[in-house]
Structure 1
Amino acid sequence: MTAQQTADRIGRSQALERLARVGLVAYGVVHLLIAWIALQLAWGGSSESADQSGALQTLAEEPFGSPLLWVVGLGLIALALWQLADVLRYTGALSGSGDERKKAAAKVGKCVAKAVVYAFLAYSALKYAVGAGSSSSDQQQQTTSGVLGWPGGRFLVGIAALVVLGVGGYHVVKGVTKKFLEQIDTSEASPTQVRVITRLGQVGYVAKGAALVVVGGLVGYAALTFDPSKSSGLDGAMHTILQAPAGQWLLSLVALGIAAYGVFCFFRARYPQRT
């Protein structure tokens, strides 16, 4: 059986698709919780980190939190596997030439990046499920500190900052150009639902992209100042936005945008892309 046939078989697995839908819902819930923590931070303070670790900690503190986190983790693992199936699907085109090869390489890169994000979030969820979770902000600062200690570490952290800035900018462009609609099959959705999905995606991708741009800026600042404490992840980005002029309102807008992205994920689970 070829890689293409294997990918098609995996991608068409109903069991994997159902689990991937659970993963998309879980991904949406995480974003809604981040948005809620960010709103609390803007208007009254919050003891939780305004990032994925804070969202997972919030779930862990709920009744039946541990079983919920296991569901979230397994769903996100399925979502990562779904992305890896697409990687296998495009491997044949990588041996081609010209535009076909470039397009396949871009698709593979995006799928691998998404799979890594989903797998890392799944790992974090499962750690919280067994009571071993830790702050994402602290982890990023520790990682940055370790890398800065390497020969050429400042250069590597600077590259990481540029990557995050690029990802954030790509999210903004994706929201403005509505390119995110390629990720969802709206053929069975009503015209009203399509309009709602489009607006949620536009607002959600732009807001998430803006937050990532701030994260990238903080990582770059850590590289320039040789200070790993400046690299504080999404939670640090939220606090930076709050400290800006009209910070409460800006952070509230970002929070609402991230919430819109979370609801968009629910629609992706309802109308998943089929390739």
Structure 2
Amino acid sequence: MAQVAGKAHHAVRETEPWIKTAARLGYIAKGVVFAAIGLLALLAATGRGGGAADQKDAVNLLADLPFGPAIATVVGIGLLGYALWRLLEAIRNPEGQKAFKRIGYFISSVTYGGLGIAALRAALGSKEEADAKGAAATVLQQPGGQAILIVAGLVLLAAGVASIVNAWKASFMKVLCTEEMDEHARHVTKTAGRIGLAARGVVFMMTGSFLTKAGLDANAKEAGGIQEALQTLARSPYGPWLLGLMAIGLLSYAAYLALEAKYRRMAPLAASEGHG
């Protein structure tokens, strides 16, 4: 038995560099998606086209670019790598995170795994449209559907607050190999992370409020995702300015993800044994 355990431990050690590579490519792919969303929002805010988009819209847009199928394929594979890393973080818990954080990793894994598949389908010419309202309607048809939507909305609200607090305290720097950065890289990373995570937090809180209200009112039409959050900002007083600020925030988040891909500190998965 000890020999089997030792071999399993050794296997994790051997495969870990490949998992790390997949994870780092995943952070880049996720950054590309948010860069596309941010760029479209910025174009809309400045009256140059664009529009409010969600993540599936972004991968569909990538597939329509010159060499788009190849780009969407690479992004899709990267997102699947990111989903794998988040799943392993949720299961093996290398950093000893609490249950709430691990649940978040699992949800992230499912979300970006689905997005990765959507990107690969878009590369093959079969595009999927995001439908937050349709998904909410399906949930409401299930036993306890209202409660599920309310809980999901509250979780997103909590995640949004946590993201903003993370941005304010710059706690995200703790998961990065800052010793490998020079002063300029640290400054750029901290600035991009603060702006980007704050913007992400606002989006989480808006989508969380949409879901919570949809659950309370049993009305799927009140649900919404990133696209609806951006549309709400655009329709508000000073809409172009608010949409422009959010666009800058999402572009900053994309830049931070690219830096995280390079500097992310990844604890050995084998070190997870014994964490609760």
Q: For this structure pair, what is the TM-score category when the shorter chain's length is used for normalisation?
A: 0.7 to 0.9
Pairwise CA RMSD of aligned residues?
A: 2.5
Relative to the length of structure 1, the TM-score reads 0.86
Relative CO higher for 1 or 2, CA cutoff 8 Å, sep ≥ 6?
2
Segments of structure 1 that go 5 or more residues without pairing to the other structure are: 94-99
Indicate conservation of the 8 Å contact 1:7/1:86, yes or no.
no
Unpaired runs of 5+ in structure 2?
Answer: 268-276
CA–CA separation in structure 2 for the residues paired with 1:7 and 1:243? 54
Code of the residue aligned with 1:50 in structure 2: it is A
* 1:176 counterpart = 2:168: yes
CA separation of 1:7 and 1:50: change in aligned 2, threshold 3 A:
farther
Give the stretch that moved more between structures: 221-230 or 233-242: 221-230
Pairs within 5 Å for 1:1-275: 1-2=4-5, 5=9, 8-9=12-13, 12-13=16-17, 15-44=18-47, 46=49, 49-90=52-93, 103-136=97-130, 138=131, 140-275=132-267
The 3 A distance-change label for structure 1 pair 82 and 224 is closer
Once the two structures are aligned, what percentage of the paired residues are identical?
Answer: 30
Q: After TM superposition, what 4+ stretches of structure 1 lie above 6 angstroms from structure 2?
A: none
Count matched residues: 263
Deviation at 1:11, TM superposition (A): 6.3
Question: 8 Å contact 2:44–2:52 — kept in the other structure?
Answer: no
Return the alpha-carbon distance in structure 2 between the equivalents of residues 53 and 38 of structure 1.
Answer: 15
Partner of 2:66, secondary structure, is coil
1: CA distance between counterparts of 2:241 and 2:79? 32
Aligned to 2:272: none
Cα distance in 1 between the residues matched to 2:19 and 2:114: 19
Q: Identify if the C-alpha distance between structure 1 residues 267 and 71 changes in structure 2 by more than 3 Å, giving closer, same or farther.
A: same
| Deviations 1:92-126 (CA, angstroms, capped at 9, x unpaired) | x9xxxxxx7xx453553343233223312212212
Contact 1:90 1:107 in 2 (8 A): no
Provide the rounded CA distance (Å) in 1 between the counterparts of 2:85 and 2:139: 31
- Map of 2:271 onto structure 1: none
